[in-house]
């Protein structure tokens, strides 16, 4: 039987109209550090390293509504995994 590859959650990316503004909110909330800060892209990380939380500016981003309904943007989540495939 083949060895099972190592798989771990490496990060989550959130879209926003303003990546820096949303990243700053989560930085203050979580106490994490900014480890990457580029135009339209900010990445936060806890002191121990993983998982990381990234924020991406998206000009066509439509904020979610609560409670949701079919005529508005639906909730979604993108996440990245790390794979050590032997």
Q: pLDDT band for position 80 (50/70/90)?
A: low
pTM exceeds cut of 0.85: no
> What domains appear along the chain, each with residue ranges and CATH number?
6-84 (3.30.720.120)
- C-beta separation of 23 from 11 below 8 A: no
Tokens of 28: 């203050």
Please give the pLDDT value at position 10. 77
* Percent of the chain surpassing pLDDT 90: 42
- What pLDDT digit, counting tens, does each position of 26-61 carry? 999 999 999 999 999 999 999 887 788 999 999 988
Q: Which residue has the tokens 């993108």?
A: 78
- C-beta separation of 79 from 11 below 8 A: yes
Most distant CA atoms of the chain, gap in Å? 48
What backbone torsions phi and psi does residue 82 show, to the nearest 5 degrees?
A: -100, 130
């Amino acid at each position: 039987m083949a060895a099972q590859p190592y798989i771990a959650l490496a990060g989550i990316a959130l879209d926003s109209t303003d990546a820096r503004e949303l990243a700053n909110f989560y930085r203050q909330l979580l106490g994490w550090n900014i480890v990457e800060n580029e135009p339209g892209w900010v990445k936060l990380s806890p002191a121990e390293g993983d998982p990381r939380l990234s924020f991406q500016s998206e000009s066509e981003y439509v904020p979610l509504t609560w409670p949701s309904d079919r005529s508005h943007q639906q909730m979604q989540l993108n996440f990245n995994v790390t794979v050590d495939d032997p």
